[in-house]
Amino acid sequence: MFDLTLAELAKGLQKREFSSVELTQAYLSRIHDKDSLYNSYITVCDQQALKQAAAADARIEQGDAGLFTGLPIAHKDLFCTKGIKTSCGSRILDNFISPYDATLVSRFNEAGAVTLGKTNMDEFAMGSSTENSYFGPSRNPWDTERVPGGSSGGSAVAVSARLAPATTGSDTGGSIRQPAALCGITGIKPTYGRVSRYGMVAYASSFDQAGPMTRTAEDAAMMLQVMAGADPLDSTCADQPVPDYLAGLNTPLDGLKIGLPKEFFADELDPAIAEQVQNAIREYEKLGASVQEISLPNTRLSIPAYYILAPAEASTNLSRFDGVRYGYRCADPKDLEDLYKRSRGEGFGSEVQRRILVGTYALSEGYYDAYYRKAQQIRRLIQQDYINALQQVDVIMGPTTPHPAFRIGEKSNDPVSMYMEDIFTLSLNLAGLPGMSIPCGQTAGLPVGLQIIGNYFAEAKLLNVAHQFQLATDWHKQTPAGI
């Protein structure tokens, strides 16, 4: 059953080919047997999962089941889960048991989903490799000496290694799309505000967006159907109607206009990645799409703008972790200042400390106008580039990452090189647009991701475009050796 997609598992449950308890127990057994190789989970919820599965079977028996009833999933460990540790991959929250569920978690619970556990991640979602986790790095199933990407690396690994049929992730600068590309799975970052952020521990509030990580676009549509929608508990959540994402998957692509940004095919792109992306574009032409070159001239400014704005927001958001109210507290503080300094110094890892310092500096008196205000102006220019481009084309395509998965430790001492791995994904978060990554090829046995970008609240179009490609190709069906 580990070869079945989420949609196929749903059909199996409805036809009583297996029960939710049987399905859940199979995944739990596999996690305990295999995850020592990958370190994709921080917490495994055996008892709760089996209890939820039994309740789901009862609903199915009574004829009261929905499409998602009884399906097991896992959540990235920054979504609050009542009674279960929510660590954000950090020492400072290693002892934090949330007293409530995030809205996203509540919606899956209400839909009858089963929570297998909480997945590993870069500390507070700050990273591109899941090497920054207090609980150790996750390992890419395609080559366990390589990173899975980040910050949702544990979620991507769990799906790729068949340790969960689907997972939730969050994307602040590419943290769903980049690990999806490096692990050979499907991931979508919805429009900012499409999914509630209530109960999602914040990194950078104007960038963070939750989304699904799955094997197929069809599965992603199922997940997003549950996740999306207005939430009175989140003032930034858009009050927009939620379409039927599954209904439009089979719309033909005749007449689809695809834009290829020339800036996405610059010197920093690995030629092998470029070749696989171009092959995918040719496949879309066979499906009836037309292609034209476009320009996003301010793309090169996305990394410097992002690494001013996001750390500035992180500096504010993470000020609450002070060793006083909850979370890690240093031993035997001399006074209040010592309590603050040592609790934060011992509780936060080096990358989180680096970004807090950068953000605090950018917001400080005398530097706010020179850095923060200027970065906000650049953010508006980047957004306008996309608005202009999407008046000419229906979707924009290009590589998700400039390189395939790199080796663990390869970029650990070079933060700028690490940041450059997000060169093609960051600009979407600055603009608040939806984007997704789907497998489109391989290079040297490692997956390559195709990024598809759409207009605001055009997730249904992205899912349709991705699904049609997956009907015509089998890259999304490729499995790492030994899985």
To the query of whether residue 151 is one of the catalytic residues in this protein, the response is: yes
**How confident is the model at residue 267, as a pLDDT?**
83
The full DSSP string for 140-182 is: BTTBTTB---SSSHHHHHHHHTTS-S-EEEEESSSTTHHHHHH
Task: State the chain's mean pLDDT as an integer.
Answer: 97
- When pLDDT is averaged across residues 305-317 and rounded to a whole number, the result is 97
- When pLDDT is averaged across residues 37-60 and rounded to a whole number, the result is 98
**How confident is the model at residue 278, as a pLDDT?**
98
Q: Locate 143 and state its tokens.
A: 């080559």
- When pLDDT is averaged across residues 359-374 and rounded to a whole number, the result is 93
pLDDT of 365 higher than 90:
no
- When pLDDT is averaged across residues 163-188 and rounded to a whole number, the result is 98
| Residue 100, CA distances (Å) to 52, 84, 285, 394, 479 in order | 17, 9, 48, 40, 37
Length of the chain: 483
| Residue 259, CA distances (Å) to 206, 287, 368, 401, 425 in order | 27, 15, 36, 17, 16
pLDDT of 212 higher than 90:
yes
CATH code for the domain defined by 6-255: 3.90.1300.10
| Residues 189/211, Cβ–Cβ less than 8 Å | yes
Given pLDDT bands bounded at 50, 70 and 90, which one contains residue 344?
very high
| Residues 449/177, Cβ–Cβ less than 8 Å | yes
**How confident is the model at residue 268, as a pLDDT?**
87
Q: Spot the catalytic one: 175, 302, 427, 437.
A: 175
pLDDT of 482 higher than 90:
no
Domain boundaries, the chain: 6-255
Q: Point out which residues pair with 188 in neighbouring strands.
A: 436
| Residues 261/395, Cβ–Cβ less than 8 Å | no
pLDDT of 394 higher than 90:
yes
**How confident is the model at residue 266, as a pLDDT?**
87
Strands (DSSP E) contained in 247-335 are: 257-261, 290-294
**How confident is the model at residue 26, as a pLDDT?**
98
Q: What is the pLDDT of residues 259-297, one digit of tens each?
A: 999 999 988 899 999 999 999 999 999 999 999 999 999
- When pLDDT is averaged across residues 343-359 and rounded to a whole number, the result is 97
Q: Own/partner pairs for 323-328, CB < 8 Å, 24+ apart?
A: 323/347, 326/96, 327/92, 327/93, 327/95, 327/96, 328/91, 328/92, 328/93, 328/94, 328/95
Residues whose CB falls within 8 Å of the CB of residue 39, separated by 6 or more in sequence, listed in order: 120, 135, 136, 137, 138, 139, 154, 157
Q: What is the pLDDT of residues 427-481, one digit of tens each?
A: 999 999 999 999 999 999 999 999 999 999 999 999 999 999 999 999 999 999 9
The full DSSP string for 360-425 is: HHHHSTTTIIIIIIHHHHHHHHHHHHHHHHTTT-SEEEEES-SSSPPBTTSSTT-HHHHHGGGTTT
**How confident is the model at residue 353, as a pLDDT?**
97
Q: Spot the catalytic one: 151, 160, 170, 427.
A: 151
Q: Spot the catalytic one: 20, 40, 76, 160.
A: 76
Q: Which string of b and e fits 28-65 if b means at least 16 CB within 10 Å?
A: bebbeebbeebbbbbbbbeebbbebbebbbeebeeeeb
Q: 83: alpha, beta or left, given left = phi > 0 and alpha = psi -120 to 50?
A: left
Q: What is the pLDDT of residues 67-103, one digit of tens each?
A: 999 999 999 999 999 999 999 999 999 999 999 999 9
**How confident is the model at residue 207, as a pLDDT?**
98
- When pLDDT is averaged across residues 336-347 and rounded to a whole number, the result is 96
pTM assigned to the model: 0.97
End-to-end CA distance of the chain: give it in Å, rounded.
13
**How confident is the model at residue 372, as a pLDDT?**
95
- 1 vs 194, which has greater pLDDT? 194
To the query of whether residue 175 is one of the catalytic residues in this protein, the response is: yes
